[in-house]
Amino acid sequence: MAERLKVDFQLLRETGDALEVIAVALRQADADARVEQGVLGGTELADAVRELADNWQVRRRRLVDAVEDHRTMVVDGVLAYQRADADLAAAARAGLVNRAGGP
């Protein structure tokens, strides 16, 4: 039993747009946690805060890359589905034209 594949292009486009918004927000996030040693009361705490901020920057960069990769997959998927749909429609029209003996 064959099932029909239905693709919601609008939903996929909205997903791609949402992923772009997330990536932009993450890229623009202020991850700079430079804190004066005196404010934190000691070098150990200041060092820990700096290490946390550095780790967050690395992880944020990885997260941005992953979000952008997923956005690319969604956008490319929409284009591929649309091309396939257009090709199938053209093939179907060509088959109907050939069977009818002309346009």
Q: What is the mean pLDDT of residues 38-65?
A: 82
How confident is residue 46, by pLDDT bands cut at 50, 70 and 90?
confident
C-alpha–C-alpha distance, residues 60 and 91, integer Å: 46
Which of 80, 74, 63 has the alpha carbon at shortest distance from 27? 63
Q: What is the mean pLDDT of residues 13-37?
A: 78
Q: What is the mean pLDDT of residues 29-48?
A: 65
For Cα atoms 15, 17, 23, give the angle at the middle one, nearest 5 degrees. Answer: 105
- 1 pLDDT more than 50: no
* Domain ranges across the chain: 25-100
pTM given for the model: 0.67
C-alpha–C-alpha distance, residues 64 and 34, integer Å: 22
User: 57, exposed or middle or buried, with CB in 10 Å at 0-12, 13-18, 19+?
Assistant: middle
C-alpha–C-alpha distance, residues 31 and 80, integer Å: 37
